[in-house]
Structure 1
Amino acid sequence: MVQPGAGDSVAESAAAVVGRLAVKLDEVTAQTQRLLLDEVADLQGDAQLVQLMRDNVAANIDTVFSAIRHGIPVEHVEAPTAALEYARRLAQRDVSANALVRAYRIGHQEVLKILLKEIRDSELDVQRQLDVFEEILAVTFRYIDWITQQVLTTYQNEYDRWQESRNRLQAEVIRGILEGDDDVDLDATSTAVRYPLRRTHLALVLWFDESDDQDELGVMERYVHDYAAAVGAGDRVLFVSADRLTGWAWIPVESESIPVLPAPAGAPLHVAAGRPLPGVAGFRRSHRQAQVARAVLAAAGAGPGRLVSAAESGLMLAGLAGGNLDEVRIWVAEVLGPLASAGAADERLRETLRVFLRAGSSFKGAAGELHLHFNSVKYRVARAIERRGRPITDDRLDVEVALLLCHWYGAAVLAA
């Protein structure tokens, strides 16, 4: 066995120390791998992944040892095939890049401890031991900095490719479900889209009208996950991009009574929610309801960051009636007369009359909902009927529907 001699250079002494460890590569690899599996839980996996991890650790240690033994500049070293393949495999399994970087840092620390012990056990004097350790430290740090850049680039390229492929497959499966495939294998499809189709589903449609931001889909996906956390959805949510500014989402919920959360502050994000409904049929129906709600908001001119739910009174009826807004506008004017004008005063009168009729013609009930005095409601109702130009006793249903359409579509169905 070669011992570092007193007359050797520091580089030669370092090479001798590393040479003594090179014959124990299997032992060094096993010790380092055990530590990584204990310290980085995300790296634990099946036997195949663990074996590839071992090959990765061994290849990296062998590569850096060779660089030290033969004086090879780190920039001339080629990344080990096993290291690059391990990075790709982690990307395919959604293991975070942070776990990969931690593994390299922890592994580096463990190998340095082993090297330090080998240096202390050598016959070198104390000063030469310090010089050798400093030499090895410099080379290994340059190597770790270099190799982490290589594996992270490989990881990110594979992650992007894998996500694009998986998202495309996922989108195809989802569209198949929405188009009414009655032969859906629930368990196989749930596995394919990684979402529990047997549950009760709350569907969301999210979109930006336009945006200069480059992370619109990221904003939407974060909102969906925050929403899921707020309503106690423990399982994985399903989010898929319909285009750059539009996303579809489903959240598995325990109850069919789920609150609709406000859109995120400061983001011009619109959200339309369906009702929570069970099974594959509910998965489809809740999504269609969200699409109807979206159509209403879009026709009305949604404004900055609005959110609506199909559970809101009259929204689905407004959506079904909104197929031809030109005809709706004419009909609303015929039913409401001058009360269908776009002025702010008529808007207050319409809203008061709408709430009054929905409350069963109760002035007290309407006053409570509108936070107005009883007499104020009574005055506004009388004034609204006066503006209309005729009583509401003979065609009350038409009036209620017209008021509902005005409430949801606003200026889109009002006279100028």
Structure 2
Amino acid sequence: MGQEWDQLGDTGNRRSWQQVVRPVARELRAEAPQLTRSMVTRMQAALPAVMPDAATVAENAVSTEQTIEALADGLTEGVDPRRLELPAATVAFAEAGVHRQVPPSQLVRAYRIGHEYIWQWCFERIALRCDDTAALRTATELFTSWTFTYADAAITRVEEAVEAERERWLRSALAARGAAITAIISGEERNQDRASSRLRYALGHCHLGLAAAVLNPVGDDDPQEALSQAVSRLAVLVDAATHLAHPTGVTTCAAWISRARAFTEEDTAALADCRLPGLRIGVGDPGRGLEGFRRSAVEAGHARRVAADAKLTGVMLYRNLAVPALASVDSELAATFVHRVLGALAGTDDVARRAAEALTVYLDENRSRTKAAARLHVHPNTITYRVQQAEQILGRRIDAASLDLRVALALLPSFRAS
């Protein structure tokens, strides 16, 4: 893997490394997926700006797992920690942080949180493998020296990668476009003509905002290229005059498709029917001008968020997800509301799932057994039976279904998936 660490030239140090540190490193490698989940949760709680949404959490998880594996492999081989390279996913996540305007100090802080967590995890296992104080001291000093040297070198490389990407970003037209988009979305920019000039995009047209993500990037494939192709395909599908895509992360982008004449319900229905495997795309309601550009993009982001919570893929229209989007801005309150209104009907067993699904569709179809049965591909009698099951689970009849019940049912898929 690389040049051996010079401190292992001592016979006693080498024996301690082989008998204590190396076995712990192999444990670390094996536990990488579980440790990643714990570390990402901790980093997300401490640094929400670094991971503001599900897509960036997933990107950080890939980066974190690759870093743990590289660390474990370096410890196993006893290589010089200063010579280990950063995993590609770690560099990509740091560079994407530049595009999201995350302060470099927060990226470094995330790395230090991870280092602290791994050090403590390994130290506890080193202690279990040492028979006496002297052996523990030797193994701990070696491990600590190696990991702190590695962390310092890794953080330096992160800082160098961030600075290099920041320089490229600031020089590029992409930076100017990103700043213009940020000003529009935040509401800071309210002059349509000036914003059109800054963005070099006709904001007076009608717009459909998109929030897109690649779910499982393959090998060396460029996620942004896949997203660009998908946006182009959707633009052609609705005869858009222009389209714009802007990266918001390693695997995500914000986009708009636009034309002079208004988009119709047939247009948005065509987008929803478009099959785009491996992608999740939220689509906002059509809007004209600067405010329509801004509002549709915000709605698209909420549509993708709700779709991600419910593990949905493909193209998702905000208008079909507006209720759960509005009601789940505060996820803790929304979860409490769902369980208060639905009780056991929010359960994950098959009976509760089928009963809740049937009740939802039955109410959506204005209590028509026939239409509900057609949507669920079952017999109308099955709808009657499952609705009765739902009433039994709820402990009340749904003759006068309340707004609370309808909203809780709309929210339910998101909270079951999570």
**What is the TM-score when the length of structure 1 is the normalising length?**
0.54
Residue 177 of structure 1 aligns to which amino acid in structure 2?
Answer: I
Quickly say closer, same or farther: Cα 1:164–1:361, change in 2 above 3 A: farther
Q: Does 1:358 align with 2:364?
A: yes
Q: Does 1:216 align with 2:226?
A: no
**Aligned residue in 2 for 1:17:** none
Structure 2 CA distance for aligned equivalents of residues 396 and 306 of structure 1 = 31
Structure 2 CA distance for aligned equivalents of residues 168 and 336 of structure 1 = 47
Structure 2 CA distance for aligned equivalents of residues 264 and 354 of structure 1 = 25
Of 382, 387, 394, which aligns to 2:393? Answer: 387
**8 A Cα contact 1:197 1:280, kept in partner:** yes
**Aligned residue in 2 for 1:281:** 291
Deviation sequence 1:90-119 (CA, Å, 0-9, x none)? xxxxxxxxxxxxxxxxxxxxxxxxxxxxxx
Cα offset for 1:395? 5.5
Cα offset for 1:287? 0.6
Residue 319 of structure 2 aligns to which amino acid in structure 1?
Answer: A
Cα offset for 1:261? 4.3
Residue 352 of structure 1 aligns to which amino acid in structure 2?
Answer: A
Runs of 4+ residues deviating >4 angstroms:
161-164, 261-266
Q: Does 1:227 align with 2:234?
A: yes
Q: Does 1:375 align with 2:385?
A: no
**Aligned residue in 2 for 1:167:** 174
Q: How does 1:3-82 map onto structure 2 within 5 Å? A: none
Cα offset for 1:386? 1.4
Aligned-pair RMSD on alpha carbons?
2.6
**Aligned residue in 2 for 1:316:** 322
Residue 280 of structure 2 aligns to which amino acid in structure 1?
Answer: H
Of 312, 334, 342, which aligns to 1:336? Answer: 342
Cα offset for 1:333? 2.2
**8 A Cα contact 1:335 1:402, kept in partner:** yes
Quickly say closer, same or farther: Cα 1:354–1:277, change in 2 above 3 A: same
**Aligned residue in 1 for 2:195:** 189
Quickly say closer, same or farther: Cα 1:308–1:265, change in 2 above 3 A: closer
SS of residue matched to 1:224? helix
Structure 1 CA distance for aligned equivalents of residues 329 and 353 of structure 2 = 23
**Aligned residue in 2 for 1:400:** 406
Q: How does 1:67-106 map onto structure 2 within 5 Å? A: none
Cα offset for 1:182? 5.2
The unaligned stretches of length 5 or more in structure 1 are 1-160
Structure 1 CA distance for aligned equivalents of residues 186 and 276 of structure 2 = 34
**Aligned residue in 2 for 1:270:** 280
Cα offset for 1:195? 2.0
Structure 2 CA distance for aligned equivalents of residues 378 and 410 of structure 1 = 24
Residue 351 of structure 2 aligns to which amino acid in structure 1?
Answer: A
Deviation sequence 1:239-278 (CA, Å, 0-9, x none)? 1111221111000143242232456655x22111111111
Of 199, 204, 210, which aligns to 2:210? Answer: 204
Cα offset for 1:301? 3.8
Deviation sequence 1:190-245 (CA, Å, 0-9, x none)? 34423221111000001135534441001001110111011111x22111111221
Deviation sequence 1:268-305 (CA, Å, 0-9, x none)? 22111111111111101101101111221233344xx4
Q: Does 1:239 align with 2:245?
A: yes
SS of residue matched to 1:243? coil
**What is the TM-score when the length of structure 2 is the normalising length?**
0.54
Structure 1 CA distance for aligned equivalents of residues 198 and 327 of structure 2 = 37
Identity of aligned residues (%): 30
**8 A Cα contact 2:272 2:316, kept in partner:** no
Deviation sequence 1:127-176 (CA, Å, 0-9, x none)? xxxxxxxxxxxxxxxxxxxxxxxxxxxxxxxxxx7996111111111111
Structure 1 CA distance for aligned equivalents of residues 235 and 375 of structure 2 = 30
Structure 1 CA distance for aligned equivalents of residues 365 and 403 of structure 2 = 14
SS of residue matched to 1:311? helix
The unaligned stretches of length 5 or more in structure 2 are 1-167
Deviation sequence 1:298-334 (CA, Å, 0-9, x none)? 33344xx43311021xx11211211333333333222
Cα offset for 1:350? 0.8
Cα offset for 1:366? 2.0
